[in-house]
């Protein structure tokens, strides 16, 4: 993903926004959830890289009026797929089923993972580039907690480019990290989320 992001940033030009409502272009955007191995036998295990197959992002934002801001990120919990290339297809299928089961996300009871923010704290702004924090709440597994997401954004007129990453603990949302064989087989509590988004003006095709 690094080369893709680099090309994306190099192509970003200075332009004036034509709309304050933006939606995700899923074909040119990426979001990943990283869950890392732990435990005594971690050297024989693999990390996990979950990618949603069904998700959407809507942003209301006027670059000249930062107080006018609202973002909603909605992920279908059952659409998460482990894309870790070192896993076999059979192992990936097993992990996918385990993640959406009642033991982890319980996707039947809690079908959506939602991040919603109504405050953007701007740290710096230079020309078309903005750096700040989206101050909001994450709803996961029936639990809602505050979450601050650092972001960098580039205004390209009819398109916004947004990059960021944030981490949180599974246990804060009532999810017990995998822990088997007395801890010999386990995953870390911390989950890292990173994303590279292209947002298009709502009236753009």
Q: Where are the domains of the chain?
A: 2-201
**184 — pLDDT class (breaks 50, 70, 90):** very low
- How far from 35 is each of 57, 106, 128, 145, 193, CA to CA, in Å? 22, 17, 34, 19, 9
Round the average pLDDT of the chain to a whole number and report it.
83
**191 — pLDDT class (breaks 50, 70, 90):** very high
Partners of 69 in the beta sheet? 61
DSSP state of 1: -
In CATH, 2-201 is 2.40.128.110? yes
Helices (H), the chain: 2-10, 89-100
- Using CA atoms in the order 125, 8, 148, 57, what is the torsion angle rounded to 10 degrees? 110
User: What distance in Å separates the CA atoms of residue 57 and residue 72, rounded to the nearest whole number?
Assistant: 6
* Residue 73 in tokens: 């990120």
Cα 56 to its chain centre, rounded Å, is 11
pTM of the model: 0.82
Average pLDDT value for residue range 84-100: 89
């Amino acid at each position: 993903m690094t080369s893709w992001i680099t090309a994306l940033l190099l192509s970003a030009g200075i332009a004036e926004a034509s709309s304050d409502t933006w939606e995700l272009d899923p074909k040119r955007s990426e979001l990943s959830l990283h869950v890392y191995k732990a435990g005594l036998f971690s050297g024989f295990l693999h990390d996990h890289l979950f990618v949603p197959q069904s998700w959407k992002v809507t942003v209301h934002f006027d670059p000249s009026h930062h107080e006018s801001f609202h973002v909603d990120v909605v992920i279908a919990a059952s659409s998460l797929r482990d894309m870790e290339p070192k896993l076999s297809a059979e192992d990936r299928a097993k992990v996918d089923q385990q993640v959406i089961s009642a033991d982890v996300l319980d996707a039947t009871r809690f079908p959506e993972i939602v991040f919603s923010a109504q405050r953007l704290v701007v740290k710096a702004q230079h020309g078309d580039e903005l750096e700040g924090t989206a101050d909001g709440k994450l709803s996961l597994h029936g639990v809602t907690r505050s979450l601050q997401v650092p972001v960098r954004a580039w205004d390209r007129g009819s398109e916004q480019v947004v990059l960021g990453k944030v981490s949180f603990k599974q246990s804060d949302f009532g999810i017990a990290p995998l822990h088997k064989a007395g801890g010999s087989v386990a995953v870390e509590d911390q989950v890292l989320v990173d994303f590279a988004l292209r947002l298009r003006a709502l009236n753009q095709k």
